[in-house]
Amino acid sequence: MGVLVVGTVTLDTVETPQKRVEDVLGGSGTYAAVAASFFCSPVRLVGVVGADFPQTYTDSLNDKRIDLEGLTRVENGKTFRWGGRYSEDFNVRDTLFTELNVIADFHPTLPNSYKDTSYLFLANDPPQLQLSIIEQTSNPKLVVCDTMDFWINEEREALEKTIERVDILILNDSEAKLLTGESNLLLAARAILRYGPKRVIVKKGEHGAISITESSFFSAPAYPLTQVTDPTGAGDSFAGGFMGYLASVDDVSEGSIRKAMMYGTVVASFNIEDFSINRQKSVQFSEIEARYEELQEAVRF
């Protein structure tokens, strides 16, 4: 089985305490699609770029065998640009600028060949856009959606309508608290279930992630990393790896969901080791399996 990823494709400027990079390949769609590509095929990507989007970045996505039929190129437009700066310990990220450019007027129409997708991942995007994609697909087996604080604050009504239609909502711990007004994470996750999703996955960064349904609780550890270069895209890599694994086994049981979260965790850990998708270019599947096994050993008691 394959995965359809809908998300942003961006040119990022990232400042860390060690280094600054400019206009590197980024975006929620990019990170998620690249992560999914380790596990399944085809990985289809819906997004938009401008005329300034470098051919080398298109080549990088092609190298990962990502289907780009759904990637629109606006010839008189500029690619979405984002700039951010990390604190010394990487726990605080300040957004320096956001230039929406071609993304501001993007209303994607799915290619016909994309409409029967079984595994749909809606990476961070305006909730109206996410809903429009759901409505263009024909009854996918699994719809997973990510969101962020901006949409919770600015487009709550549209977001609630979208969340109602998804099987799994993935979001950060601070976003789960913001969405529900609950300071206890478990209560926040349970409150989100009442919006409609059958499962909520809360990402806690260096503290791992949790998954909650009406009847299950899973605590996923983070991979113990000593080399953090750039956390940008870690959450999208987690979600992309998660979707890619589920599509590869074509199973959404509790057991597969848990394994998928751990594969997502592993891909995210590699993403953090370098800027953009640089580390993902060289990661071998045997390296992914090795870290997965390390994590199995790390929680055994």
- Nearest CA to 4 out of 72, 68, 79 is that of 68
User: In angstroms, what is the minimal distance from the CB of 105 to a second copy?
Assistant: 40
Query: How far does Cα 193 stand from its chain's mean position?
Result: 20
Q: Which is nearer to a second copy, 85 or 204 (CB)?
A: 204
The answer to whether residue 301 forms part of the interface with a second copy (CB under 8 A) is: yes
Report which residue type is found at 47: G
The answer to whether residue 204 forms part of the interface with a second copy (CB under 8 A) is: yes
Q: Which residues contact 184 (CB under 8 A, 6 or more apart)?
A: none
One of 26, 77, 208, 231 touching a second copy (CB under 8 A): 208
Q: How far apart are CA 264 and CA 236, in angstroms?
A: 9
The answer to whether residue 75 forms part of the interface with a second copy (CB under 8 A) is: no
Tokens read off for 91 = 């726990």
The answer to whether residue 195 forms part of the interface with a second copy (CB under 8 A) is: no
One of 158, 187, 191, 193 touching a second copy (CB under 8 A): 187
The answer to whether residue 102 forms part of the interface with a second copy (CB under 8 A) is: no
Tokens read off for 79 = 């690619």
Q: Which is nearer to a second copy, 111 or 221 (CB)?
A: 221
The answer to whether residue 243 forms part of the interface with a second copy (CB under 8 A) is: no
Q: How far apart are CA 141 and CA 109, in angstroms?
A: 20
Sole residue written with tokens 């809360």: 202
One of 133, 222, 246, 283 touching a second copy (CB under 8 A): 222
Helix/strand/coil for 74 = strand
User: In angstroms, what is the minimal distance from the CB of 121 to a second copy?
Assistant: 20
Query: How far does Cα 177 stand from its chain's mean position?
Result: 19
One of 116, 217, 250, 281 touching a second copy (CB under 8 A): 217
- Map residues 155-184 to x or -, x wherever contact with a second copy holds by CB under 8 A: ----------------------------xx
Q: Which is nearer to a second copy, 74 or 225 (CB)?
A: 225
Which range binds a second copy by CB under 8 A, 72-80, 159-167, 232-240, 251-259? Answer: 251-259
Which range binds a second copy by CB under 8 A, 24-32, 37-45, 144-152, 292-300? Answer: 292-300
**173-180 and 185-193 helices, crossing angle to 10°:** 60
The answer to whether residue 74 forms part of the interface with a second copy (CB under 8 A) is: no
Q: What is the dihedral of CA 191, 169, 146, 238, to 10 degrees?
A: 120
Q: Which residues contact 133 (CB under 8 A, 6 or more apart)?
A: 6, 46, 108, 110, 120, 122
Type and span of the H or E element at 17: none
Q: How far apart are CA 117 and CA 86, in angstroms?
A: 37
Q: Which is nearer to a second copy, 137 or 256 (CB)?
A: 256
The answer to whether residue 152 forms part of the interface with a second copy (CB under 8 A) is: no
Report which residue type is found at 155: E
Which range binds a second copy by CB under 8 A, 74-82, 130-138, 141-149, 254-262? Answer: 254-262
Residues lying near a second copy in the complex (CB under 8 A) are found at 88-90, 183-187, 204, 206-208, 210, 217-222, 224-226, 228, 255, 258-259, 261-262, 294, 296, 298-301
